[in-house]
């Protein structure tokens, strides 16, 4: 997602919660069509439903993990959950909004809600993977 991992989070598989930050995808979702949930920041309550659509064998020279596709920018950390994010977007789009200047200063003027940087996403994944291997 691009968040800084500053908040508590869990993975929920069925009715069981996993809190281990080094939990592997293969342990959570060992097969195709497997579903689970990821809850990040218990205050903001970012809830993600995740479906493993397909598991492919890696190419021998492929660096893993790998994101192959994505869309839109990650909401800012501590924006206040989905409702806070909607307020954030509205204020940034409307120069007459009372919070416009605050949000423009708080989170990068050039920030683009539609942008997705595949290279940056993969850099983050690899950094997490390296921490996991050391942990």
Is the preceding peptide bond at 122 cis, omega within 30 degrees of 0?
no
Cα three-residue angle 120-124-126, rounded to 5 degrees: 115
Six token digits for residue 5: 């991992």
The sign of the dihedral angle between the CA atoms of 1, 73, 108, 100 is negative
Is the entire prediction scored with pTM above 0.75?
yes
pLDDT for 22-42, tens place per residue? 677 788 888 999 999 999 999
pLDDT for 88-131, tens place per residue? 999 999 999 999 999 998 887 778 899 999 999 899 888 877 77
In whole numbers, what is the pLDDT of the chain averaged over residues?
87
């Amino acid at each position: 997602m691009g968040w800084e991992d500053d908040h508590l989070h869990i993975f929920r598989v069925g009715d069981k919660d996993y809190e281990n930050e080094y939990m592997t995808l293969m342990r959570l979702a060992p097969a195709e069509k497997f579903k689970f949930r990821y809850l990040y920041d218990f205050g903001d309550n970012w809830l993600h439903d995740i479906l493993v659509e397909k598991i492919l064998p890696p190419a021998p020279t492929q660096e893993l993990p790998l994101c192959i596709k994505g869309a839109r920018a990650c909401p800012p950390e501590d924006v206040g959950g989905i409702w806070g994010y909607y307020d954030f977007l509205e204020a940034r789009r409307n120069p007459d909004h009372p919070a416009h200047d605050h949000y423009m200063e708080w989170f990068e003027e050039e920030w683009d809600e539609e942008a997705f940087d595949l290279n940056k996403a993969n850099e983050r994944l690899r950094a997490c993977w390296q921490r996991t291997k050391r942990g």
